[in-house]
Amino acid sequence: MRKVKRTPAGEALTDLMLDLFRATSLILTAGDRLVAPLGLTSARWQILGAIGSAERPQPVSWLARDLGANRQNVQRIVNDLNKDGLVALEANPHHRRAQLVVLTDKGKRAFEAAMDLQAPWVNDLADGFLVRDIGTVRRVVMTLRKKLEE
């Protein structure tokens, strides 16, 4: 059986992907620690952010699609957020069963508090990086994401 070898670009991208896996795990753990005093996790914080940044209320399936996440996982988190009074479910005039998810005032306050904690944390992490280097990495990751979405 003949083994196919990676190209130099394929090898470099493999190394980047492994680093991204490790970084993602560390980011989620740090995010969990950062927002734990607010009763949040990184996953809850991410969902609150997606709801808050949407142009209009969306059903869970749309939130999951926009996050690149599993619909069932997003539904479970939305249910927990709803129980805690951070989101509300509203009737969807376009679909009887797919309710729209909206932030409550409590949810807005929780998300704003998380972002207030995030600013000094991320500023400290960014110390020593060049903005143009961060932009280059972001462009590479965005291009990779687009190729994977195709």
Write down the domain spans for the chain: 39-127
Average pLDDT over residues 45-74: 94
Kindly report the CATH number that applies to the domain delimited by 39-127.
1.10.10.10
Under 8 Å between Cβ of 107 and 81: yes
Beta strand extents in 9-149 (DSSP E only): 58-59, 87-90, 100-103
Task: Look at residue 1 and tell me whether its pLDDT is greater than 80.
Answer: no
Residue 41: both structure tokens together: 């996790």
94-137 pLDDT per residue, tens: 887 889 999 999 999 999 999 999 999 999 999 999 999 999 99
Under 8 Å between Cβ of 147 and 139: no
**pLDDT in the model for residue 82:** 98
**pLDDT in the model for residue 92:** 86
pTM for this entry: 0.88
Environment class of 13 (CB within 10 Å of its CB; exposed 0-12, middle 13-18, buried 19+): middle
Residue 82: both structure tokens together: 């709803």
Residue 55: both structure tokens together: 């142009």
Task: Look at residue 2 and tell me whether its pLDDT is greater than 80.
Answer: no
3-class SS of residue 26: helix
